[in-house]
Structure 1
């Protein structure tokens, strides 16, 4: 014995388009995705698996030089300690939180998990020349 029920034909509502999916301009890009990718790349630079030059267009001059300097110090420490090289596993971003200061300024906090520890990263992103750029970067 089979039972059939009347099926209501209702219009399926389409989700509203968010700023992350509208257009191709930098103002319409989801800042969380930008912060996530920059944070992961910065941790990879510190681990020595990514060249810092790949972040040049995303970081302002001060942040770029600070990250380059810190990566150099880390590299020198590894060479001096003569510790056995471990196979580097790619860091995994655990969470991203973004606070909108204004239309052109956002601040983000990111938690990145590595093999042995988690890192907290804070950054300030500013919209300049139609691209998001990091103007402050702190890596714990």
Structure 2
């Protein structure tokens, strides 16, 4: 196979221009926030499904968010008991996407899409950094 000068130049240009990595431009704190948000969102959906105890999220959520999640999980369990009567096997939810927006160095707002067996949910949360940890101060689960 022979290579013309123009073809060789295009090939060399392609070698020099690398595509940016998917998280290029995202600093370490944004990546950290996204990972924390991902695990909290998945855990919260598992709490609503009844496959994880809400107490496991007590350190990650502020008091109001924790009580709200506990209340909603109890209502979900009551509704499931009335409508089904039997426990169904539940697969773990899968986090599809996580988007973080910095409000300040210590406050981020994050949107997450989580897919379950029969539906997808949108989750919005506000994370605040204090005392070396991230804590959810607002949580909305669709």
Output the TM-score relative to the length of structure 1: 0.79
Higher helix share: 2
Matches within 5 A, 1:116-127: 116-127=118-129
Shift of 1:130: 1.2
Matches within 5 A, 1:65-84: 65-84=67-86
Which residue of the other structure, out of 47, 50, 62, is the alignment partner of 2:49? 47
Residue by residue, what CA displacement relative to the aligned partner does 1:70-96 show, whole Å, maximum 9, x if unpaired? Answer: 000000111112344321010000000
Q: What is the RMSD computed on CA atoms of the aligned residues?
A: 1.9
Number of aligned residues: 119
Moved >4 Å (runs of 4+): none
Residue by residue, what CA displacement relative to the aligned partner does 1:15-73 show, whole Å, maximum 9, x if unpaired? Answer: x9x853xxxxxx68710000000000000000000000000000000000000000000
Name 1:110's counterpart in structure 2: 112
Name 1:90's counterpart in structure 2: 92
Give the SS at the match of 1:138. strand
CA–CA separation in structure 2 for the residues paired with 1:29 and 1:96: 10
Give the SS at the match of 1:119. strand
CA–CA separation in structure 1 for the residues paired with 2:56 and 2:44: 10
Give the SS at the match of 1:30. helix
CA–CA separation in structure 2 for the residues paired with 1:82 and 1:89: 17
**Unpaired segments ≥5 residues, structure 1:** 1-15, 21-26
Output the TM-score relative to the length of structure 2: 0.78
**Unpaired segments ≥5 residues, structure 2:** 1-23
